[in-house]
Amino acid sequence: MAKLYFKYGAMGSSKTAQALITKFNYEERDMKVWLIKPAVDKRDGADIIQSRIGLSAVCEPIGTEDDIFHMYQVDHGDIDVIIADECQFFTEAHVDALRRIVDECNIPVLCFGLRTDFLCHLFTGSRRLFEVADSIAEIKTICSCGAKATVNARLDGDMNVVTEGAQVMLGGNDCYLAMCHKCWQKKINEQKNK
């Protein structure tokens, strides 16, 4: 029986690397993988998924208006598994389409992504995955203090924590730092007191 999996973690927790390793494991067993990501993520190219440790693979970008269920039926009916990266950027309809593929087509779907944004608010795709996924697992990483990191702190050019702005701002280690909530709040308070 296929399941919908959501594997989430803070920035730097190796989500993308794990997605690509999972892809490799399926393909090593001669299984066909449909690797997808939201089209909004163009950091490494429109159709590339790349991890910080250098693993990469070609994927299919999913636009906001794309019907994933229809795409599966028309072009990908022979696949064995769907692996989705950066799934926090999916719409509710995208997640519901993935859920439908699991239920109606018995195809496992593994989603990797962030839980929350730089202000600790759920992303739309993540929220829907928490609501409908069969399996939810955290991929852990640590703050510089050694505690578990849960916050994706957005940084400006002076390494100050940003507390205003659009929810989606693509970036990597140059723009974000995984922190525990205590250190994040402490840094914000220190900045206010300057």
99-148 pLDDT, tens digit per residue, is 999 999 999 999 999 999 989 999 999 999 999 999 999 999 999 999 99
Percent of the chain whose pLDDT exceeds 70: 95
| pLDDT band at residue 174 under the 50/70/90 scheme | low
What is the domain class of 4-140 according to CATH? alpha beta
What is the biggest distance separating any 2 CA atoms in the chain, rounded to whole angstroms?
Answer: 59
Q: Exposed, middle or buried: residue 29 (CB in 10 Å: 0-12, 13-18, 19+)?
A: exposed
Q: How far apart are CA 80 and CA 10, in angstroms?
A: 28
Catalytic residue among 65, 86, 104, 190: 86
pTM: 0.92
Q: 66 in helix, strand or coil?
A: coil
Residues 6+ apart with CB under 8 A from 45: none
**Residue 86 known to be catalytic:** yes
Closest by alpha carbon to 68, among 55, 82, 89, 53?
82
Confidence at residue 173, expressed as pLDDT on a 0 to 100 scale: 57
Residue ranges of domains in the chain: 4-140
